[in-house]
Amino acid sequence: MSTPQGARARARIEVTAAIKGEARRQLAAEGAARLSLRAVARELGMVSSALYRYFPSRDDLLTALIIDAYNSLGEAAEAADAKAGDIAPARRWVAVCEEVRRWALAHPHEYALIYGSPVPGYSAPETTIPPAARVGVLLIGIVRDAYGRHGVARTRLPGELEPEARRMAAELAPDLPPEAVTALVAAWAQLYGLVGFELFGQFNNVVEEREAFFRHAAAQLAHGVGLVFP
Amino acid sequence: MSTPQGARARARIEVTAAIKGEARRQLAAEGAARLSLRAVARELGMVSSALYRYFPSRDDLLTALIIDAYNSLGEAAEAADAKAGDIAPARRWVAVCEEVRRWALAHPHEYALIYGSPVPGYSAPETTIPPAARVGVLLIGIVRDAYGRHGVARTRLPGELEPEARRMAAELAPDLPPEAVTALVAAWAQLYGLVGFELFGQFNNVVEEREAFFRHAAAQLAHGVGLVFP
DNA sequence: TCCAATGCAAGAGCACTGCTCTCGTTTAGA
DNA sequence: TCTAAACGAGAGCAGTGCTCTTGCATTGGA
């Protein structure tokens, strides 16, 4: 385990980790746009061209950071859900939403990297999909739990949306009613609207008590997907 | 009117407009991050340093484009509202939301510039506030109209949010009940969550029938702020 | 054990970027 | 008419991502 292959392979793993670590530091400090390969190399005492042995391009380094950010957010959300324990699904929902907001405020540049404007000329590879889905999967689980316990409040869908709702349900949560899945997907996107507006300054001079405002809005989102507060 | 001052002032206005025009073209084609002062100057047949006589920095040029983008979106939304005519407020709401989405899909880079991650080291000056508020003001007007016609559905606010809700109402729409204003601000942010997720690829492999999905979600938002569909 | 193949760091260099400074020229106002 | 401001052009600085070549060190097979 300590030396799976030769010393060379071990060194490679260590250097790769050091590059990612320094890149993450610079990302957190300055943002993705100011993340410079040369600065990372400089800080690590190596020359910029040497860095290309580990990451073929700046975009590949960014991809690694994107995956890390998704996983960090996913882990935080999952931990918050676990810590919430066996409470009403609606309260679990709010707890997870609040943790997403907390994580975003603590890691603004990472958040901007994964949920802000995409870097031009960059398209995220398939590898980012599973980490990106973690929060969504978690929210689905909460609604599933509520459905198993006492059902969810049901609403009517417009006819034009019914086939799509059925398709999404089949794809994401076959055990849930299509209206619930549709509402869930919308609430998922709306959650990030709330977080993004606060983080990117759109709430400046508008909302002051942001935590209380967010808590209320998250509770309304829960209500929208059919979760009820006991 | 044609020559308000001398030929020099007129030329200045024309050159400034040409720079903004070319910059807007490059922004639409490549995105804000790839907008290059030198490329703009090159395309206009001038040398890069000459451009600094008109815009003191790249950020100032970006600010001009941001204001234009906000105004373009605001005009589109206002036009869509005017075109909708004297229909039920809930339907006006959906019409405006759909126009916001349409504009965003037609101008993805402009949308990313104003609602995506902020450019690092850049803080929007005060001048951007009024254009940025146009869509919000329009939505407030719709709810006000509904309130004047037949009131809006009222919900209860948690106690911790009441002072903030009153403050927001006093600031944004003193003639509306605080719960309505709170719901309105949340729905405003959530609208951009829906649009951003579609535009930035978060709906890939999740939502297919995006127009119908969005229409339904926008109607649910209207419902959330107390508007009713006749 | 030796040796060829490979991995790696370093350096030079290319084509860019935003931005500054200087130098003549043109223009507008006193 | 004279002067100060505005202007375009050019050179130059410090920085960027990325490529290519050059040597050295390590590795795995004969």
Q: Give the nearest partner residue to B117 out of A117, A161, A212, using CB atoms.
A: A117
A47 Cβ contacts chain C strand, under 7 Å: yes
Q: Which residues of A73-94 are buried (b: 16+ CB within 10 A; e: fewer)?
A: bbebbbebbeebeeebbbbbbb
Compute the CA torsion angle B130, B193, A157, B146 (nearest 10 deg).
-20
- Distance, in Å, from the CA atom of B183 to the CA atom of A220, rounded to the nearest integer, reads 9
Left if phi > 0, otherwise alpha if psi is -120 to 50, otherwise beta: which for B201?
left
What's the alpha-carbon Rg for chain B, to the nearest Å? 21
Q: What is the pLDDT of residue B192?
A: 98
Q: What is the pLDDT of residue B121?
A: 67
Q: What is the pLDDT of residue A10?
A: 87
Q: How far is CA B176 from each of CA A43, B94, B150, B162, B169, rounded to the nearest angstrom?
A: 56, 20, 13, 14, 7
CA distance A120 to chain B (A): 6
Mean pLDDT of A191-217: 97
- Distance, in Å, from the CA atom of B165 to the CA atom of B153, rounded to the nearest integer, reads 16
* pLDDT under 70: residue ranges of chain B: 1-5, 120-121
Q: Are B66 and B113 in contact (CB under 8 A)?
A: yes
- Distance, in Å, from the CA atom of A191 to the CA atom of A95, rounded to the nearest integer, reads 12
Q: Give the nearest partner residue to B220 out of A132, A191, A224, using CB atoms.
A: A224
Render pLDDT for A104-121 as a digit per residue (tens, 0 to 9).
999 999 999 999 988 766
Is A30 within 8 Å of B120 when comparing Cβ atoms?
A: yes
Residue of A136, A200, A178 lying closest to B115 (CA atoms): A200
Q: What is the pLDDT of residue A5?
A: 62
Q: What is the pLDDT of residue B137?
A: 98
Q: How many CB pairs under 8 A join A and B?
A: 165
Q: What is the pTM of this model?
A: 0.94
Nucleotide nearest to B8 (CA to C1'): C27
Render pLDDT for A24-82 as a digit per residue (tens, 0 to 9).
999 999 999 999 999 999 999 999 999 999 999 999 999 999 999 999 999 999 999 99
- Distance, in Å, from the CA atom of B126 to the CA atom of B29, rounded to the nearest integer, reads 27
- Distance, in Å, from the CA atom of B160 to the CA atom of A212, rounded to the nearest integer, reads 7
Residues 84-143 of B with CB under 7 A from strand D: none
Query: Where on strand D do bases come within 7 A of a protein Cβ?
Result: 6-12, 15-21, 26-28
Asked if residue A1 has pLDDT above 70, the reply is no
Q: Looking up tokens 């690829």, which residue turns up?
A: B201
Q: Which of A85-89, A191-195, A225-229, B121-125 has the lowest mean pLDDT?
A: B121-125
Render pLDDT for B35-58 as a digit per residue (tens, 0 to 9).
999 999 999 999 999 999 999 999
Q: Which residues of A32-49 are buried (b: 16+ CB within 10 A; e: fewer)?
A: bbebebeebbeebebeee
Render pLDDT for A134-174 as a digit per residue (tens, 0 to 9).
999 999 999 999 999 887 777 889 999 999 999 999 999 99
Å: B108 CA to C15 C1': 29
Q: What is the pLDDT of residue A155?
A: 84
Asked if residue A88 has pLDDT above 90, the reply is yes
Share of chain A above pLDDT 70, in %: 97
Residue in chain B closest to A182 (alpha carbons) equals B213
Side chain identity at residue B222, one-letter code? A
Nucleotide nearest to A59 (CA to C1'): D17
Distance from chain centroid for Cα A61: 18
The H-or-E segment that residue B221 falls in is helix B210-224
**Cβ-Cβ contacts under 8 Å, B107 against chain A:** none
Q: What is the pLDDT of residue B1?
A: 40
Q: What is the pLDDT of residue A43?
A: 96
Q: At what angle do helices A58-84 and A89-106 cross, to 10 degrees?
A: 140
- Structure tokens given for B134: 């146009």
Residue of A14, A30, A20, A8 lying closest to A55 (CA atoms): A20
Name the more confident of A11 and A94: A94
Which of B70, B107, B115, B117 should we substitute to test contact with A (largest number of A Cβ atoms within 10 Å)? Answer: B117
Number of neighbours of residue B149 by Cβ within 10 angstroms: 10
